[in-house]
Amino acid sequence: MKKIALMAAGAALTFAASATPGLAQSTLEAVKSRGALACGVNTGLAGFGAPDSQGVWKGLDVDMCRAVAAAMFGDANKVRYVPLTAQQRFTALQSGEVDMLARNTTWTLQRDTALGLDFVGVNFYDGQGFMVPKKLGVKSAKELNGATVCVQPGTTTELNLTDYFRANKMTFKPVVIEKLEEVTAAYYSGRCDVYTTDRSGLASTRATGPNPNDHVVLPDVISKEPLGPAVRHGDNRWADVVRWTFNSMLEAEEMGITSKNIDQMLNDTNPAIQRFVGKTGDFGKMLGLDEKWSYNVIKQVGNYSESYDRNLSPLGLERGINALWKDGGVMYSPPMR
């Protein structure tokens, strides 16, 4: 009896998997046969996703794209970057214009369900804040009653802003501008008293904008903004690839494996390291990738802390809550085994 029930359950599972129309495997196969990843990124937010002076894309999110390309092709450069505003990003993913988003996007219930996305992890835990000119002498967001606030549409920022002012019985005048460079220009030209976005975005804009010392980021954090890579809902094998690529960067940090020492690690006898570098364990096969997938991610892109130090430390963003769990933060990969 038991065996039949189990077999029936197995058959149902097999059926369910193959009955998911094409999509279940399509992105993984499509990216493989195309030979490059189409990655939806920011239009230019230093530290997360922005081209440098040579036109080379850099950032924590860009490293996510590069890591997936390294896992897929053994070549982190096989990425086509598609810069997207906040408002364009979900349509671009839904329509198939990009294979994934790695673009400081907050994981919310509505996006995970109604918008048809799947968030595969969180590569930066953030919260929304406010930046004001120092000369205004404002010390707390509670003093912003009646302020003119610059904000980008299609963001959680816009929604939280309304909630926050309403909850605190304050009013504000929104200045809503889609393009990042235009909304920040509006703030710097004095059209708004306040610029609001994720605090990492404020740090980036402040550091790269004119006279950083003339502007302050207020201490208030008014929301939770877990930012992470997203794929299309219902594309589980592809979601697995992106999820475990990210996890491998965390796991490598935890095990002390870096781009610099991974070649020595190839000969390490520790069984967890042997599995990580693809000598044992068949993880590649399970993911539909080469056994060197995680070796290539770390060798070419680095572990999470290498990426963080390269991209976010220069903006003055400390690890804080984004430290590994064993260092007092919340970054935690499920076991790679």
Ligand X SMILES: N[C@@H](CCC(=O)N[C@@H](CS)C(=O)NCC(=O)O)C(=O)O
Residues forming contacts to ligand X in the complex (CB under 6 A) are 42-43, 45, 85-86, 104-106, 152, 155-157, 180, 197-198, 201, 225, 227
- Look at residues 274, 232, 264, 247 and name the one whose alpha carbon lies nearest to residue 331: 247
CB of 76 to ligand X, least distance (A): 22
CB of 113 to ligand X, least distance (A): 16
CB of 227 to ligand X, least distance (A): 6
Q: How many CA atoms lie within 13 A of 67 on its CB side?
A: 32
* Nearer to ligand X (CB atom), residue 49 or residue 302: 49
CB of 290 to ligand X, least distance (A): 33
Q: What is the CA radius of gyration of the chain?
A: 22
Distances in whole angstroms, Cα of residue 220 to Cα of each of 81, 223, 319, 330? 33, 9, 18, 21
- Give the whole-angstrom CA distance, residue 98 versus residue 104: 15
CB of 291 to ligand X, least distance (A): 35
Q: Which residue is nearest to ligand X (CB)?
A: 201
Strands 194-198 and 128-133: antiparallel
Amino acid of residue 13: L
204: phi then psi, degrees, rounded to nearest 5: -65, -50
* Nearer to ligand X (CB atom), residue 61 or residue 253: 61
CB of 92 to ligand X, least distance (A): 12
* Nearer to ligand X (CB atom), residue 25 or residue 88: 88
- Give the whole-angstrom CA distance, residue 117 versus residue 108: 10
The residues pairing with 129 across neighbouring beta strands, listed in sequence order, are 197
> Contact at 8 Å (CB) between 136 and 193?
yes
* Nearer to ligand X (CB atom), residue 85 or residue 258: 85
CB of 83 to ligand X, least distance (A): 7
The residues pairing with 40 across neighbouring beta strands, listed in sequence order, are 82, 101
* Nearer to ligand X (CB atom), residue 43 or residue 94: 43
Q: Which helix (H) or strand (E) holds 295?
A: helix 293-300
> Contact at 8 Å (CB) between 312 and 60?
yes
* Nearer to ligand X (CB atom), residue 158 or residue 291: 158
* Nearer to ligand X (CB atom), residue 112 or residue 240: 112
Q: Which helix (H) or strand (E) holds 216?
A: strand 215-217
